[in-house]
Amino acid sequence: MAKRYKALLLITTISLSLLAWHQYTKSKTWWSFPNYDDGSPAGERAIYTVDDRSARLHTSTNKGKESLAYLTYIISHYSSLPSTVVFLHSHRSGYLRGWHTDAWGWDNVRALRSLRLSYVQESGYVILRCNWKPGCLPAHYSPNTHVTKEVWLEVFGYGANGTAEQVPDQVGQACCPQFAVSRTQIIARPLEDYISYRQWVLDTEMSDEKSGRVMEFLWHVIFGKGPVYCPEPSTCYCKVYGRCD
């Protein structure tokens, strides 16, 4: 019998108006994901609200797009992480909101239904978008105008990822930070690193949009991949989703 991995679905909301909140609560049945292709059930859910501090799970402020919610979850659960964590946006499907979701109908349920958790464990980190556009075409990361040498050093400092000699000329991965990470890969970095990244988001003078864009192009580096992480699309679809035709 195949080993089963408990998954945790981390769903963030970028901004909620009162109307969006009502729509959000009415449509939340989509969080009840079906079993994964290896038979393992969808596990716990942590839904963070970024603009309502009275919510059960919330960030301290609304900045850095989804990055504060992602980092807050990691910091709060560092010692009790499940074996697999899936980081998602709040929308389920549809072109306008979910155009970057790499599944038929731009549907996160379809994407997660076929996600191969065993490959997440093997790889440590997988981006859920295999399509190279945008983010993985050479013109998008040669150079990456969001992650300059100065920004790289601000985020990582002088250390394992941060000495001047190690600052890469190119930084890139496929767009739109929805990804899955193993517990082993997350704790490969000390808790202090994640606290430092969150503090950078809070302290930077960059806007919500710009600071979020910086983090979008650094998650793969944080989770152990090289500066440019662009798996060949057909290989990605096969290994991540089992779509090997």
pLDDT by residue (tens digit) across 17-46? 222 222 233 344 344 444 444 443 456 777
For the chain, give every domain's residue range.
Answer: 7-240
Q: 90 - beta bridge partners?
A: none
How far is the C-alpha of 39 from the C-alpha of 117, rounded, in Å?
10
Q: What is the pLDDT of residues 65-109, one digit of tens each?
A: 889 989 999 999 999 888 888 888 776 554 555 556 666 556 777
Distance of alpha carbon 172 from alpha carbon 116, whole angstroms: 23
CA dist., res. 39 & res. 5, Å (int): 9
Q: Is 156 exposed, middle or buried (0-12, 13-18, 19+ CB in 10 A)?
A: buried
pLDDT of residue 10: 46
Angle of CA points 96, 215, 53, to nearest 5°: 75
* Residues 171, 221 contacting (CB under 8 angstroms): yes
Give pLDDT, residue 28.
44
Percent over 70 (pLDDT), the chain? 71
Q: How high is the pLDDT of residue 106?
A: 62
Which pLDDT value is given to residue 145? 79
Evaluate if residue 59 carries a pLDDT over 60: yes
**How far is it, in rounded angstroms, from Cα 228 to Cα 172?**
5
Say what the alpha-carbon torsion angle 125, 33, 67, 24 is, to the nearest 10 degrees: 170
Amino acid at 184: T
Question: What is the reported pTM?
Answer: 0.81
By the 8 A CB rule, do 92 and 27 touch?
yes
Percentage with pLDDT > 90 across the chain: 35
User: Mind listing the pLDDT tens digit for each residue in 117-161?
Assistant: 899 999 999 999 888 887 788 776 667 778 888 999 999 987 656
Task: Determine the angle formed by the axes of helices 67-77 and 191-203, rounding to 10 degrees.
Answer: 150
